[in-house]
Each structure stands twice: as structure tokens, then as C-alpha cells.
Amino acid sequence: MKLTVMTIIIAALSCLQIIRIISKTRRDAIGIRPALIWILMWIAIGLGSLFPSAVDYFMQAAQMRDRMFFILLLSVLILFALVFNLASGHEKLQRDVSKLIQEVAILRYNMSESPQNKAAGKNDQKDEPEKKM
């Protein structure tokens, strides 16, 4: 294990990021599952910088010869997985918002058409424009 300034900086950065993630998890800024994923990633980055022979082992297992190409390819694959996860989460949020908007519209319609409003002969609305959410 050869320690250089860059390996020490990367290992220290990894430790700082892990502490930051734990702090955000305690404040409920992020959930447990994403926190574990990020912590595992930073542990891998820190250990990979301190023990490049471990990277060489995985590189040989993947039958690759260039360490930088292996790290770059692995990083791109991880980024693709993260983008897919974010995109699927965004799609779910869009569906949930659409469903909520539909439910609110149905509730407003039912309230304006309730028997009490029909008996009174008015919808409790004045000549003001309807407020939007």
C-alpha cells in the first residue's frame, strides 16, 4: 500500500461524506435505503483509493487490463443505475400528483353538488374568481 497525497485526500473525503450522510439520515433529510447505498459507495471509493490491489483483483475478474478504464466504466454504470432510480421515482411522484389532483377535483365537485347547497339554492360562492391551488 503506497500512500500518496491524493489517496489520503480521497480517503478523507470519503470519511467526511459518510459522516455527512449519517448526519442527514439522523435529521430525516434522507431515508435509510439511499443512505446505505451512498455509504457503501463512499466506502468502496475510500477502500479503492487506499488498496488499489483490491481494484486490480476486481479488474482481473472482469477480464480488463486498464485500471482507469475499469474505474470509468464502473462509474458510468453506477451513474446509469442512479439516473434510472431517480427517473422511476420522479415518474411515481408525477402519477401520485395526478391522482391527488383528480381526487381534489372530485371532492370539490361533490361538495358543490351536495344536497345542502342545492336546498339553499346557491353554492356558497360569491362573484369572485375561484382560488387556484
What pLDDT was estimated at residue 9? Answer: 93
Cα(112)–Cα(115) distance, integer angstroms: 9
Q: Rg of the chain over CA atoms, in angstroms?
A: 27
What pLDDT was estimated at residue 99? Answer: 97
Residue segments in the chain with a per-residue pLDDT below the cut of 70: 1, 117-133
**C-beta separation of 52 from 67 below 8 A:** yes
What pLDDT was estimated at residue 118? Answer: 65
What pLDDT was estimated at residue 82? Answer: 87
Residue burial 37-71, b: 16+ Cβ < 10 Å; e: rest: bbbebbebbbebbbeeeebeeebeeeeeeeeeebb
What pLDDT was estimated at residue 76? Answer: 93
What pLDDT was estimated at residue 114? Answer: 73
Which residues, including other chains, have CB under 8 Å from residue 125's CB and lie 6 or more apart?
112
What pLDDT was estimated at residue 133? Answer: 54
